[in-house]
Amino acid sequence: MSNQVNSTAQPRISLRLTALALAALALAACTTPAKQQRRDDAAAINTRLGIEYMRRGDLALAKEKLDKALAQDSDSADVHAARAELFQRMGEKDDADSEFRRALSIAPQNAAIENSYAVFLCSHGRPDDGVKRFLEAARNPLYKTPEVAYANAGVCLRVAKRDDEAALNFNRALQINPNYSEAAFQLANLQFERGQLPAARGQIDGYLANHDATADLLLLGVRVARAQGDRMGAVGYARRLQRDFAGSDQARALAALDHNPG
């Protein structure tokens, strides 16, 4: 569920397609009978095809491929996780929930699928359940990007108006990966919206001094500097945004902000 940007920065949950855990689809041939191995391989191929069709927006064809994958390997967590994503996109909330649960009953230690399920829960008004699962995913030593789970927990908490807890989780994400721009943006945006302008400015400038700029952070920098009455600082962020990210949604948002400064 990624994501839009406008002149008013909004919390957003980051869901990576790695959450479908495709790498674990095939079992070792030496421990699997040849006929079953062929079925597992076919299920893996149809699952990948289903995901690709989802990316393209062809949900009907995606469902056809994932139905085949299910018939070929009904005990694959990856098949059920992919079907959960499909049902979510189709607006079939109950079916999506059921598929996520089935996937996790098969692979309870799959932190990537747990992160995906947590995104689903937070997006459907169940923040407590979602945050719990994000944190479980983040603490799983097999999960390669715990910073994403912590940042997503923070976004979920923000939507639930639990800003102190959200800030704690954004900071956890940055402690793990100081280069994670989404967590830096979310924390600075939270501080800005709470009126903590020096903290927000320090977060933005500290990140930009050590890591590559992002359009989100530069646009937010414009807004924070203007709120501080720092005209030259705002101009500096704006010029960098227009130079490095010309044509981006954020550059267009800046133009709209300039047109309607109030």
Q: How far is 206 from 3, CA to CA, in rounded Å?
A: 24
pLDDT in tens, 10-61: 455 544 323 333 333 333 333 445 666 666 688 999 999 999 999 999 999 9
Q: Please enumerate in sequence order all residues whose Cβ is within 8 A of that of 219, keeping only pairs 6 or more positions apart, or say none.
A: 5, 7, 9, 237, 241, 250, 253, 254
pLDDT in tens, 93-106: 999 999 999 999 99
Domains of the chain, start order: 39-106 (1.25.40.10), 109-177 (1.25.40.10), 179-262 (1.25.40.10)
Q: Tokens at residue 21, please?
A: 């855990």
pLDDT, greater one: 7 or 97: 97
pLDDT in tens, 144-166: 999 999 999 999 999 999 999 99
What is the pLDDT at residue 228?
A: 97
Q: Please enumerate in sequence order all residues whose Cβ is within 8 A of that of 236, keeping only pairs 6 or more positions apart, or say none.
A: 225
pLDDT in tens, 227-254: 999 999 999 999 999 999 999 999 999 9
Alpha-carbon dihedral sign for residues 18, 21, 25, 29: positive
Question: What rounded mean pLDDT belongs to the chain?
Answer: 86
116: pLDDT strictly greater than 80? yes
- The H-assigned helical ranges of 146-214 are 146-159, 163-176, 181-193, 197-210
190: pLDDT strictly greater than 50? yes
